[in-house]
Every structure is written in structure tokens, then in C-alpha cells.
Amino acid sequence: MQDFRLTRRGLLAGTAAIAAFGARRASAQTPNNVLVIGHVAELQTLDPAQAVTISDFRILANIYEGLLRYKDDTLDVEPGLAESWTLSPDAKTYTFKLRQGVKFHDGGDFNAETVKFNFDRVTQKDHPYANTGPFPFVFTLGPVEKTEVLDPYTVAITLKEPYSPMLTMLAGAIGGLAGISPAAVKKYGKDFARNGGGTGPFKFTLWESGQRFVLDANPTWWRGKVKLAGLVYRPIVDENARVSEMLSGGTDITIEVPPDNIATFTASKNFTFYEQSGPHLWYLMLNCKEKPFDDKRVRQAANYAINKEALVTEILKGTATVAAGVTPPAFTWAHDNDLKPYSYDPAKAKALLAEAGYPNGVDVTFYVTESGSGMLSPILMGTAIQADLAAAGIRAKIETYEWNTFLGKIIPGMEGKAQVAELSFMTQDPDMHPFLALRTGAPVNSGRYSNPKVDALIDAARAEPNIAKRGALYKQMQDLIADDAPWVFIANWKQNAVSSAAVKGFKLHPSFTTRFWDTSKA
């Protein structure tokens, strides 16, 4: 852990210096027909049912497949391991016709029995392999009551109540648990998380912690042969180091280019730069259970204290827009366009602090991470935010941690440890983030926010089949949450990546996962 008290100007100057290296390629070379990826964090798990970070799901999306998948360039769903599906009149039972002839990496057959095994493992507490968890995000698949085999290639999943995001989430990265090899789970038990096994285009070969994670092409993939021989993920936590490796030829592609370095890559014919909008939110989670942020006035003061426009312009270099609330504008049908961001008003922030009983300001602990998917130069952002908060009277002591350590501190809850933590979230449905992190008692409601009216709107929206009515409920929810200010809403980001010019066929996807099965390397 380190204690940072640096100026915004000093940090900006330090990171901008790396651009002076230019876009000249050094002599380093990556292997032929193997794609080397500069990854933002160390892999945590090979079990999609246990994964909680987009950095993990970016890898797992190339190993596992779900019953459904997202179409290219959109979050619309299409058949995956299921060829078709129907929904019962009461909107509680989904029946899937499964694709035949699909093999797991270990040679086993994919069928209805394997799907039942995978769903029962994560939804039935008495399942013999339920102890291979925990499975923190499985609730996003819906309130599953039972999974039934109707014939060798037909499976029915019955919910306890209607759940509108069901198909969207089955197509997402967590939905990849449907394509786990039961034989691999039985073989490895709790060690499945270090070994894995699915049906996807690439299969696990080697995991050297802190060094590399290696996948080989799956020669029996049902969709045909991929163009690459394999993938090598190199965990390079420091964003400047990722840029240096990209410039020197040590990696073929890196996701999340620091804003200061984008111009370096776009100015050179040796590189290809990619950008894609998606449902992302960068925010500060506030500890609503303990002083000072148990008082809404102090939470609102924090929102007024921060110059979000300056963050987006000076640090993020226009790669993001100022966020107004919890629902990203990428969800056009659910986002409240009339909701305006908190203005930058330090005087109002000071007045609210004084009104709440803090005329001389207040001291807080602020958790910052070194890296992490979608975290957008987190140390720079944290230091700039620290300066803005201090100017309004909120004196934040920064504690910075490696990404996985950071998550280990945040997810169990902030009480007794910190009052502020920077976070980001990428989602595929407007239900997921509020239900996960803002509903009373939710699994990752680390700030312990609670509002029964918000809970009721979340519950009503996830059960509403009509998309227009769902959207209206989410808009009401956004307004309530914005006023309560359990978070400081900072930015909505456009994801980016850079590759060498030798890489062909790669595209970013709005789900924020990375798909390499159509990628080649000259």
C-alpha cells in the first residue's frame, strides 16, 4: 500500500512523457500466428460462474460459450449453443433446443444433461459440486427454480418469477457457465478455477501467475477452425508499461490505451486504433452507513465538489463524457436524457458540509486501484479527485492497491475501512448494476446504500416484459438515486484498444468482452 498526495499537474506531466518515445517499433517480436495481448490485470479464475471482473470475462469469452450470444456490434442476442428457444405464456419457463455435435475441450459431448449439471451446480445448494464456488454473479441469470432435461438436446429453465433480462444475461459472459465441461468440474473439484474447460474457440494450456496465461486454438470447435494458433495474455498492470510494450513490439494488442498515449498510436501507420461505445460508468462509491456519508448532504457535497468536465477533458482527453446518473446513455431506451449531471460548485459543496455539521471540513479514506478494466487511469483520476475534494473541505487520504487486492477490500463492504472508493462497471442490461450494487442487501452493495423506493423500482423493472414500461421505471429510479447521491457519478467511457498493423479482423464489442476467433496476424 502507498499513500499518494501528488498534484494533478505533476502526474499529468509524468505520464505524458511516455509519448515522447514515439511510434518507432523496436526489435522485439511476438511469435508468428500467436497473438500476444497486454492485459490490464492478473486473471482471477477460469470458472465463468465465479468471475466478477470484465478483465477476467475478456479472457473467458474465448474459452466458454453460452446458450445464446451477442450479435456482432450490438447487444442483441442470437443463437449460441442453443439453436432456438421459446418462452411459456406465464413468462417463467424458457425452453432451449440445443446444438448437436458440439464437443468440450476434453472430448466430451455437450447436451441437455451437461446444461442441467452446470445450472444446478450454481443454483441448487444440495448439488454435489455446489462447494466449487462461490458464484457471486449467478443471480444475474435470474431467479432460477429448476432446470429440466426434456430430451437429450432440449432443456427447460424455469424461473420463480418473470425476469426480463434473462436472455440478455444468458448471452453475456456469465452465461458462458452453460458451456462448462462437467467432466472437468468433477475431475478438478475446487481446482476447476485453475484448470477450466469449455466448448469455445480456444482452450487453456498454461497459467504462470504474474507472467502469462496461454490458450491454444481448439481444433474441434463446432464453428470451424480459428485463424490464430493461440493467445498469450500478459498481465501488465502498469498502464505506462503496457504502452511501452506495445511500442517496442512486445505485445500485438493492448486493451484500454491511456488517454495521453492515443495520439502516439493514431499518428503511426504501424498501429491500428479501435474505439467502441458501450454501457460503462466510472464513479465513486460512498460509504453510506458511516459518517460522514451517512448524511445525504455530505454525499451531495462530494458530487458538487468534483470538476468532472475537467477530468474528462484534461485526464481522459475526451474519451469519455460526464455521467449524470447510474444508467449509461448507451441504454437509449432506459436512460433519462433530462437528468443533468451535478454541476461543479465548490461553494455549494462547502455550504452543504457546514449544514451537515462539518464547517471545518472532514477527513476520509479514499481507496484507489493501480489498474483494472474500465478504470481509466485510476491513479491520475484519484489524485485529481483528491485535489477537488480537498478544495471543498473533504480531505481524502488515498490508499492505493493492486486490482485484485483492491476488490478483496471493497466487495465485502467498506464499513470500518474506507469512506470513498473509485470503481467502474460495464454491464449488458440496465438492471444488472443497480440490482448488484444499489439494492438493499445486494451482493456488491459495498457502500450499504438503502432506499425502499429504489428497491421497489428495481424489482418492478426486472419483472416488466414491456420495454417502454421498463424504461420508464428505470428513469424514475435514476432520478431517485441521483438525488440520494450514494455515488459520485463521474464519466461514461468509450472503450479503446490498439494493435500492431499486422493484426487483422479484430473488433471491439459493446459488451466489453474481446473476441479473437475472427482475428488473424500477418
What does pLDDT average to over the chain?
92
Range 294-313 average pLDDT: 98
Query: What is the pLDDT confidence band of residue 3, given thresholds at 50, 70 and 90?
Result: very low
Question: 3-state SS string over 177-195?
Answer: HHHCCHHHHHHHHHHHHHC
* pLDDT computed for residue 278 by the predictor: 87
| Residue 397 β-bridge partners | 365
Domains 2-9+278-494 and 65-179 share a fold: no
CATH 3.30.930.10 fits 65-179, yes or no: no
Sequence-distant contacts of 77-84: CB under 8 A, at least 24 apart: 77/167, 77/168, 77/170, 77/171, 78/171, 80/171, 80/175, 81/110, 81/115, 81/178, 81/179, 81/199
* pLDDT computed for residue 15 by the predictor: 34
Helix axis angle, 296-305 to 346-355, nearest 10°: 160
**Other residues' Cβ atoms within 10 Å of the Cβ of residue 29:** 12
Identify the CATH number of the domain defined by range 2-9+278-494.
3.10.105.10
* pLDDT computed for residue 17 by the predictor: 32
Range 48-53 average pLDDT: 93
Range 294-323 average pLDDT: 96
Which tens digits make up the pLDDT trace of 179-203? 999 999 999 999 999 999 999 999 9
Contact between 447 and 463 under an 8 Å Cβ cutoff? The reply is no
Q: For residue 157, which of 69, 67, 70 has the smallest C-alpha distance?
A: 67
Which tens digits make up the pLDDT trace of 443-475? 899 999 999 999 999 999 999 988 899 999 999
- List the domain boundaries for the chain: 2-9+278-494, 65-179
Rounded CA-CA distance 327/340 in Å is 12
In this model, does residue 19 exceed pLDDT 50? no
Cβ neighbours of residue 415 under 8 Å, at least 6 residues apart?
A: 287, 289, 290, 448
Q: In degrees, to the nearest 5, what angle opens at C-alpha 472 toward C-alphas 467 and 478?
A: 120
**Other residues' Cβ atoms within 10 Å of the Cβ of residue 177:** 26
Query: What is the pLDDT confidence band of residue 314, given thresholds at 50, 70 and 90?
Result: very high
In this model, does residue 296 exceed pLDDT 90? yes
Range 24-47 average pLDDT: 81
| Helix, strand and coil percent figures for the chain, each rounded to 5 | 35, 25, 45
Contact between 144 and 92 under an 8 Å Cβ cutoff? The reply is no
Q: Phi/psi class of residue 227: alpha, beta or left (left: φ > 0; alpha: ψ in -120 to 50)?
A: alpha
* pLDDT computed for residue 105 by the predictor: 98
